[in-house]
Amino acid sequence: MPWEARSIMSLRREFVLLASRQGANKRALCRRYGIVPWIGYKWLERYAAQGEAGLADRSTRPHGSPGRTPAAMEAKVVELRLGHPCWGGRKLRRRLVERGEVGVPSASTITVILRRHGLIDPAEGDRHTALQRFERAAANELWQMDYKGHFATAAGRCHPLTVLDDHSRFALAIAACADERAATVQAVLTDVFRRYGLPERMLMDNGSPWGDGFDQPWTVFGVWLLRLGIAVSHGRPYHPQTQGKDERFHRTLKAEVIGCRAWRDLAHCQNAFEAWRHVYNAERPHEALGLATPVSRYQPSYRPFPETLAPIDYGPGAIVRKVQAKGVIWFANRTWPVGKAFLGQPVALRPTIRDGTYDVVFCQHKVAELDLRDEAAP
The domain in which residue 188 lies consists of: 143-296
Q: Judge if 174 and 103 occupy the same domain.
A: no
Q: Judge if 196 and 278 occupy the same domain.
A: yes
CATH number of domain containing 92: 1.10.10
Q: Judge if 283 and 193 occupy the same domain.
A: yes
| Domain count for the chain | 4
Calpha distance 246→147 (Å, rounded):
9
Q: Judge if 180 and 245 occupy the same domain.
A: yes
Among the listed residues 72, 73, 51, 71, the one whose alpha carbon sits nearest the alpha carbon of residue 62: 51
Q: Judge if 152 and 274 occupy the same domain.
A: yes
Buried b (16+ CB within 10 A) or exposed e, 238-254: eeeebbebbbbbbeebb
Confidence (pTM): 0.70
Average pLDDT over residues 225-242: 74
Task: Let me know if residue 134 belongs to a domain.
Answer: no
Q: Judge if 37 and 177 occupy the same domain.
A: no
Q: What is the pLDDT of residue 354?
A: 86
Average pLDDT over residues 1-7: 52
Q: Judge if 171 and 257 occupy the same domain.
A: yes
Mean pLDDT, the chain, whole residue set: 83
H or E segment to which residue 371 belongs? strand 365-371
Q: Judge if 235 and 365 occupy the same domain.
A: no
According to DSSP, the β-strands at 334-337 and 231-234 are unpaired
Residue 113 burial (10 A CB sphere; 0-12, 13-18, 19+)? buried
Beta strands per DSSP E along 148-207: 151-153, 156-165, 171-177, 201-204
Task: Let me know if residue 37 belongs to a domain.
Answer: yes
Task: Let me know if residue 174 belongs to a domain.
Answer: yes
Q: What is the pLDDT of residue 128?
A: 46
Q: Judge if 186 and 276 occupy the same domain.
A: yes
Q: Judge if 205 and 274 occupy the same domain.
A: yes
Residue 366 bridge partners (DSSP): 361
Average pLDDT over residues 354-370: 90
CATH number of domain containing 266: 3.30.420.10
Q: Judge if 277 and 348 occupy the same domain.
A: no
Distance from the first to the final alpha carbon of the chain: 49
Among the listed residues 64, 65, 45, the one whose alpha carbon sits nearest the alpha carbon of residue 55: 45
Helix residue spans in 235-279 (DSSP H):
244-253, 266-278
Average pLDDT over residues 102-122: 73
Stronger pLDDT, 318 or 121, i.e. the higher one: 318
Instruction: Give the gyration radius of the chain's Cα atoms.
Output: 25
